[in-house]
């Protein structure tokens, strides 16, 4: 094991002699090269939609989930995710109310919120954006456009 660490250390540090490479330094170097994935909070009460979202995003991001608005708001406060995917028709507290609470909270107001909704009637998008959501994705979800939009918001 120590020999392997020394070999890896010499490759990482570009030195023939990496005897000062400790396991802790190796692990910390690996973490700095591969930062942990961004955290996305998914607030979705429909199991089929949740399964679809998770299938598209798995292995790309750290996913946490809530099945209702109250739990989602609590999880946002506890975890401060990098992005929130918010179903607008949630039990206990609907998406419009959730986004208002998020944007009114000093600790959470910076987090981008993308609405997920089947509401696609004229004026719905504007209403959702006016309520405080940063963007809007209509259901059913197009996997390619979905990933592109999430990537775009996480870069900014």
| DSSP 8-state assignment for residue 156 | -
Cα separation of 86 and 98, whole Å?
A: 8
Q: How far is CA 73 from CA 50, 105, 133, in A?
A: 17, 10, 14
Query: Could you give the strand order of the β-sheet that contains 135-138, starting from the edge strand earlier in sequence?
Result: 62-66, 39-43, 83-87, 113-117, 135-138
Q: In this structure, which long-range contacts are made by residues 58-67, counting pairs with CB atoms below 8 Å and at least 24 apart in sequence? A: 60/147, 61/37, 61/150, 62/36, 62/37, 62/38, 63/39, 64/39, 64/40, 65/41, 66/41, 66/42, 67/91
pLDDT at res. 34:
62
- Concatenated DSSP letters for 17-32? --TT--HHHHHHHHHH
Cα separation of 76 and 43, whole Å?
A: 10
Do residues 128 and 115 touch, judged by C-beta distance below 8 A?
Answer: yes
What string of pLDDT tens digits covers the 156 residues of the chain?
566 666 665 555 554 444 444 545 545 444 455 666 899 999 999 999 999 999 999 888 999 999 999 999 999 999 999 999 999 999 999 999 999 999 999 999 999 999 998 877 788 889 999 999 999 999 999 999 999 999 999 986
pLDDT at res. 29:
47
- Concatenated DSSP letters for 49-78? HHHHHHHHHTTTSEEEEESSHHHHHHHHHH
């Amino acid at each position: 094991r120590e020999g392997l660490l020394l070999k890896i250390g010499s490759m990482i540090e570009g030195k023939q002699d990496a005897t000062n490479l400790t396991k802790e330094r190796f692990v910390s170097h690996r973490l700095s090269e591969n930062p942990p994935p961004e955290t996305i909070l998914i607030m979705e009460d429909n199991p089929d939609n949740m399964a679809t979202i998770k299938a598209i995003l798995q292995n790309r991001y750290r996913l946490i989930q809530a099945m209702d608005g109250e739990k989602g708001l609590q999880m946002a406060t506890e975890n401060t995710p990098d992005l929130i995917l918010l179903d607008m028709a949630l039990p206990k507290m609907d998406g419009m109310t959730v986004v208002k609470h998020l944007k009114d909270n000093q600790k959470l107001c910076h987090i981008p919120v993308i609405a997920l909704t089947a509401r696609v009637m004229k004026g719905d998008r504007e209403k959702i954006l006016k309520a405080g959501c940063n963007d809007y994705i209509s259901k059913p979800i197009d996997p390619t456009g979905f990933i592109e939009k999430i990537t775009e918001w996480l870069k900014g």
